[in-house]
DNA sequence: AGCACGCCGACT
DNA sequence: GTCGGCGTGCTC
């Protein structure tokens, strides 16, 4: 007898042992999907992690119902990667499985059964449930498991199915692929061009009373006349909002126009000509040679290139070389909105061999990418962090663009992992190489480069030898004393904005705080509104006239009177981006001022619309949160100002200075991309602050030296490895007690200086859950693994206490 | 994670 | 008298 360790899509520790039916013992391989019963009535699609012959005595393993793949859907490298992730990030493989697979590749009780063709059923020897199921299948060809529940008791379902599969009467329907239809796109054409031409006056007369239809008809006719070969996409015709669907429908009904459909690839791959890259500059050539040399040494690369230095160009060169060597490439981007520019260039190069994978794809589209990757049809895949889990073959290169971006390690989705760090491991399993690229590398990556674990390659010139923007610090306190201030802006900044507007330049204003004001306060009694679910003050959003909680999304309308003492004089404190936007609009009444933040971009296509408005030059001033620091590469932005730069430093986070540096540098990179005369004005109460001074001097080496010294001084990463454990419960005392207990267990095993807390989290309550945290700082090197095993043991000990089982537990490794 | 079982309160 | 709340235990 043979056994298999199966990964199930459940948040449970470890794998589960199943026995392998004799018929497939020689066929079953790690990485294949199998159907297994679990618990009383559930059926799951599991993944074979490994097969073995170690007999089991603690329990009787159940048997695998069926094998779903002829060959492993998941390559060995991915299985090793999952195991590594689960071990390193202290999460379960089931969580990874859930995240990694598109829904329809891990069907559960939705799995369909069918009769085997040409079977003769011997009803005499069937029990009543088996008979029901066969009869049901004779009527309907496919039945899924939850439908079977209607006529067979839950506990009997698995037994019934198993016995019928054993008797070779039925089988699991595996043709998942047949369930998706090819996507079709609607096109429009003149139904009978000859006839139309002959009878045009009559037709126009017929359409006299519907001018819109006439206009639309003429437009289609004109398009046809100009180029009879072009296909006219229906959506393009209606997109600009000039015509309504009903008008087109009328034309179709009048038999003048007809609609037809063409199948397109769901992923809308590029179908045009592919083109060659432009030549590299001298500096880029040097960098390229350094990358080649590093790869030959077996080293991965940290590509530190100032904004607009042509990092993408270098990526493309390396991608091309990798593909030419017969290997495949993964290009990771922090968010899908950034794919636009990169994608255009890659499409021209790789056409159909390019794939995309990100959160916005539908399940079918995801499966399609899976299929194409498995068939080795995709040479270059552009995607967000989940693309790490695709079943790559021959992965030769991973490029992680904007590697400093925090989108690579979101705290909100389980399992927690850092896609940038993980990509280094994944590449190792595949024997591939990695390029981490950024204009502002993370302190951690920079440190790795300093310690020879990554090869640092630098691009310090902007493309076309354009100068970097000039930084200027404005002492806001001094400006206030000299009364040269209007609201949040010093006169100097206002003058600069005015001048730029006169020269028809665009201006960007960064203010990284959502809403209008942080606090609405009653002047009489001092009352402020707290979120009812969280331990947080509600932020005032004037645009929607609401108080919003930025942690749980809770909203309430803004009160006009104090809810406590009913006084009318409510005051606001703290400046948000809405207020800056309002102020700038007032100060520059003739300018077109637009706001870009998550709140204003929530509506569909809001981002695309504003993007085009800025691109066309219609917008004069863009006021926004950190959102404006990404992806807005326009030629006419000459001035960037940060009116309240100090905000960024007053965050309780050991990365606050690093983030401020990255944000300021990224946003300043938008200025003077073509002219080379960009300017960045930073208003601050602390112009002496080291980080501002360093940013102004713009010497990266100095900045990283400073940031690293600070990290070293306070024992933060990269000098230590951190693990944050959060415990949450709706009963505060219970959360407190649980964290005290876990803390005491940890202290049993770990040196006391490694453990900070337990203590109440900075935000003590979110979504009605009270949260307590323990921060663990571990030394790097060989003790790390030992200590981490102690942590695992401590958590197991903690889990044995049944009273704390309802306490939610979150672990963030390298948070 | 999901589900069953079992124990307590608030309702037709 | 029952319905359903969630604490507890179990799943190969």
- A401-450 pLDDT, tens digit each: 999 999 999 998 889 999 999 999 999 999 999 999 999 999 999 999 99
The torsion defined by the Cα of A689, A691, A693 and A696, in degrees rounded to 10, comes to: -140
Average pLDDT, chain A: 87
Q: Please check the confidence at residue A740 and state whether its pLDDT lies above 70.
A: yes
What is the average per-residue pLDDT within A802-809?
Answer: 87
CA atom of A793 to C1′ atom of B9, Å: 39
Using 50, 70 and 90 to split pLDDT, how confident is the model at A312?
confident
- Whether nucleic acid strand B comes within 7 Å of the CB of A13, the answer is no
A86 vs A65: CA distance, rounded Å: 27
End-to-end CA distance of chain A: 44
**pTM, 2 dp:** 0.83
User: What topology does CATH give the domain A109-177?
Assistant: Arc Repressor Mutant, subunit A (1.10.10)
pLDDT at A595: 95
* DSSP notation for A2-54: EEEEEE-SSS-SS-EEEEEPGGGTTT--TT-EEEEEETTTEEEEEEEEEEE--
- Whether nucleic acid strand B comes within 7 Å of the CB of A39, the answer is yes
- Whether nucleic acid strand B comes within 7 Å of the CB of A11, the answer is yes
Looking at beta carbons, which pairs linking A108-111 to residues 24 or more positions away fall under 8 Å?
Answer: A108/A9, A108/A42, A108/A43, A108/A44, A108/A45, A108/A145, A109/A42, A109/A43, A109/A144, A109/A145, A109/A146, A110/A144, A110/A145, A110/A146, A111/A35, A111/A43, A111/A45, A111/A144, A111/A145, A111/A172, A111/A173
Sketch the domain layout of chain A as residue ranges: 3-101, 109-177, 183-264, 282-410+417-460, 470-513+576-709, 516-574, 720-813
Q: Please check the confidence at residue A181 and state whether its pLDDT lies above 70.
A: no
Buried b / exposed e over A154-191, threshold 16 CB at 10 Å, is eebbbebbbbbbebebbebbbeeeeeeeebeeebbbbe
Q: Residues A63, A18: contact at Cβ < 8 Å?
A: yes
- Whether nucleic acid strand B comes within 7 Å of the CB of A805, the answer is no
Q: Which residues of A are annotated as a binding site?
A: 522, 525, 531, 534, 549, 552, 562, 565
CA atom of A146 to C1′ atom of C10, Å: 22
Q: What are phi and psi of A453, to 5 degrees?
A: -90, -20
- CATH number of the A470-513+576-709 domain: 3.40.50.300
Q: Please check the confidence at residue A739 and state whether its pLDDT lies above 80.
A: yes
pLDDT at A178: 32
CA atom of A726 to C1′ atom of C8, Å: 23
Q: Residues A11, A811: contact at Cβ < 8 Å?
A: no
Nearest alpha-carbon partner for A86 in A364, A416, A550 = A416
Query: Which nucleotide is closest, CA of A18 to its C1'?
Result: C12
Q: Which residues of A are annotated as a binding site for Zn(2+)?
A: 522, 525, 531, 534, 549, 552, 562, 565
Side-chain-side CA neighbours of A118 within 13 Å: the count stands at: 0
CA atom of A20 to C1′ atom of C12, Å: 12
Strand C contact set, beta carbon < 7 A = A 12, 16-18, 37-39, 59, 61-62, 802-803, 805-806
CA atom of A806 to C1′ atom of B9, Å: 21
Query: Which nucleotide is closest, CA of A62 to its C1'?
Result: C12
More confident residue, A439 or A260: A439
pLDDT at A241: 67
* DSSP notation for A92-115: -HHHHHHHHS-GGGS--TT-EEEE
Nucleotides of B under 7 A from a protein CB: 1-4
What pLDDT, in 10s, does the model give residues A607-654?
888 988 998 999 999 999 999 998 888 889 999 999 999 988 888 889
A442 vs A704: CA distance, rounded Å: 9
CA atom of A43 to C1′ atom of B1, Å: 14
Query: Which nucleotide is closest, CA of A10 to its C1'?
Result: B1
Query: Which nucleotide is closest, CA of A17 to its C1'?
Result: C12
Domains A109-177 and A282-410+417-460 fall in the same CATH topology: no
- Whether nucleic acid strand B comes within 7 Å of the CB of A781, the answer is no
- Whether nucleic acid strand B comes within 7 Å of the CB of A12, the answer is yes
- Whether nucleic acid strand B comes within 7 Å of the CB of A42, the answer is yes
User: What topology does CATH give the domain A3-101?
Assistant: GIY-YIG endonuclease (3.40.1440)
pLDDT at A216: 84
Task: Of A252-266, A307-321, A705-719, give the lowest mean pLDDT range.
Answer: A252-266
Query: Which nucleotide is closest, CA of A92 to its C1'?
Result: B1
What is the average per-residue pLDDT within A531-541?
Answer: 89
CA atom of A86 to C1′ atom of C6, Å: 31
pLDDT at A91: 94
Buried b / exposed e over A505-515, threshold 16 CB at 10 Å, is bbbbbbbbbbb
Task: Of A340-344, A369-373, A544-548, give the lowest mean pLDDT range.
Answer: A340-344
Query: Which nucleotide is closest, CA of A9 to its C1'?
Result: B1
pLDDT at A462: 82
pLDDT at A272: 47
Q: Please check the confidence at residue A661 and state whether its pLDDT lies above 70.
A: yes
User: What is chain A's length?
Assistant: 815
Query: Which nucleotide is closest, CA of A38 to its C1'?
Result: C11
- Whether nucleic acid strand B comes within 7 Å of the CB of A10, the answer is yes
Nucleotides of C under 7 A from a protein CB: 6-12
Structure tokens at A247: 């008008």
User: What topology does CATH give the domain A720-813?
Assistant: Alpha-Beta Plaits (3.30.70)
With respect to CATH, is domain A282-410+417-460 assigned 3.40.50.300? Answer: yes
What is the average per-residue pLDDT within A264-284?
Answer: 60
Tell me the three-class secondary structure of A295-338, residue by residue.
HHCCCEEEEEECCCCCHHHHHHHHHHHHHHCCCEEEEECCCHHH
Q: Which of A147-161, A406-420, A551-565 is most confident?
A: A406-420
- Whether nucleic acid strand B comes within 7 Å of the CB of A780, the answer is no
- Whether nucleic acid strand B comes within 7 Å of the CB of A41, the answer is yes
CA atom of A158 to C1′ atom of C12, Å: 15
């Amino acid at each position: 007898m043979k056994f298999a360790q199966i990964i199930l899509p459940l948040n449970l520790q470890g794998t589960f042992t199943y026995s392998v039916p004799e018929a497939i013992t020689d066929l079953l391989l790690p990485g294949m999907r199998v159907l297994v019963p679990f618990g009383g009535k559930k059926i799951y699609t599991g993944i074979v992690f490994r097969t073995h012959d170690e007999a089991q005595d603690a329990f009787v393993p159940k048997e695998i119902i069926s094998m779903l793949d002829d060959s492993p859907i998941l390559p060995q490298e991915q299985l090793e990667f999952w195991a590594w992730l689960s071990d390193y990030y202290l999460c379960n493989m089931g969580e990874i499985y859930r995240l990694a697979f598109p829904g329809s590749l891990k069907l559960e009780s939705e799995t369909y059964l069918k009769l085997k063709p040409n079977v003769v059923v011997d009803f005499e020897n069937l029990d009543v449930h088996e008979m029901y199921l066969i009869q049901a299948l004779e009527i309907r060809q496919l039945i899924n498991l939850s439908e079977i529940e209607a006529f067979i008791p839950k506990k009997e379902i698995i037994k019934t199915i198993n016995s019928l599969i054993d008797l070779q009467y039925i089988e699991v329907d595996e043709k998942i692929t047949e369930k998706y239809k090819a996507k079709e796109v609607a096109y429009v054409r003149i139904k009978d061009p000859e006839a139309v031409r002959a009878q045009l006056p009559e037709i126009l007369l017929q359409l006299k009373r519907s001018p819109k239809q006439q206009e639309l008809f003429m437009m289609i006719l004109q398009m046809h006349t100009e180029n009879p070969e072009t296909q006219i996409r229906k959506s393009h015709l209606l997109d600009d909002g000039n015509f309504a669907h009903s008008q087109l429908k009328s034309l179709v009904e009048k038999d003048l126009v007809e609609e037809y459909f063409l199948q397109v690839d769901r992923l809308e791959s590029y179908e045009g000509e592919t083109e060659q890259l432009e030549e590299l500059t001298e500096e880029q050539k040097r960098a390229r040679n350094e990358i080649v040399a590093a790869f030959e040494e077996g080293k991965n690369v940290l590509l530190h290139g100032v904004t607009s230095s042509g990092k993408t160009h270098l990526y493309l060169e390396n991608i091309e070389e990798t593909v030419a060597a017969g290997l495949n490439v993964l290009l990771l981007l922090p968010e899908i909105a950034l794919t636009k520019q990169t994608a255009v260039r890659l499409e021209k190069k790789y056409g159909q061999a390019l794939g995309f994978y990100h959160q916005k794809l539908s399940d079918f589209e995801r499966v399609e990418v899976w299929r194409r990757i498995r068939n080795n049809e995709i040479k270059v895949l552009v995607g967000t962090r989940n693309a790490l889990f695709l079943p790559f073959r021959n992965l030769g290169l991973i490029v992680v663009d904007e590697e400093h971006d925090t989108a690579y390690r979101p705290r909100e989705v389980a399992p927690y992992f850092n896609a940038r760090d993980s990509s280094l491991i994944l590449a190792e399993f595949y024997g591939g190489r990695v390029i981490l690229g950024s204009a502002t590398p993370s302190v951690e990556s920079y440190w790795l480069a300093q310690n020879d674990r990554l090869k640092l390659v630098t691009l310090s010139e902007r493309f076309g030898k354009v100068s970097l923007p000039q930084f200027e610090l404005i002492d806001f306190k001094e400006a206030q004393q000299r009364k040269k201030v209007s609201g949040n802006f010093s006169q100097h900044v206002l003058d600069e904005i005015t001048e730029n507007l006169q020269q028809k330049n665009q201006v960007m204003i960064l203010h990284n705080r959502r809403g209008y004001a942080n606090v609405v306060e009653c002047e009489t009694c001092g009352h402020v509104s707290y979120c009812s679910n969280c331990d947080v003050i509600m932020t005032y959003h004037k645009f929607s006239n609401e108080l919003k909680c930025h942690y749980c999304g809770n909203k309430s309308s803004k009160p006009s009177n104090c809810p406590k003492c009913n006084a009318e004089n409510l005051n606001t404190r703290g400046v948000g981006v809405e207020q800056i936007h309002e102020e700038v609009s007032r100060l520059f009444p003739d300018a077109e001022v637009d706001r870009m933040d998550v709140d204003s971009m929530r509506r569909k296509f809001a981002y695309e619309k504003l993007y085009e408005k800025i691109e066309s030059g219609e917008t004069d001033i863009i006021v926004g949160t950190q959102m404006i620091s990404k992806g807005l590469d326009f030629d006419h932005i000459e001035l960037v100002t940060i009116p309240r730069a100090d905000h960024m430093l007053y965050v309780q986070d050991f990365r606050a200075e690093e983030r401020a540096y990255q944000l300021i540098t990224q946003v300043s990179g938008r200025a003077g991309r073509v002219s080379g005369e960009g300017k960045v004005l930073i208003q601050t109460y602390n112009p002496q602050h080291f980080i501002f001074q360093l940013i102004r001097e713009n010497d990266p080496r100095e900045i990283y030296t400073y940031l690293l010294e600070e990290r070293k001084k306070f024992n933060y990463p990269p000098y230590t490895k951190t693990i944050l454990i959060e415990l949450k419960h709706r009963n505060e005392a219970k959360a407190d007690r649980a964290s005290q207990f876990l803390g005491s267990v940890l202290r049993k095993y770990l040196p006391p200086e490694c453990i900070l807390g337990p203590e109440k989290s900075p935000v003590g309550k979110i979504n009605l859950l009270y949260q307590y945290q323990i921060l663990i700082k571990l030394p790097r090197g060989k003790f790390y693994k030992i200590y981490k095993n102690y942590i695992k043991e401590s958590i197991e000990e903690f889990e044995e206490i049944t009273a704390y089982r309802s306490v939610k537990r979150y672990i963030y490794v390298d948070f």
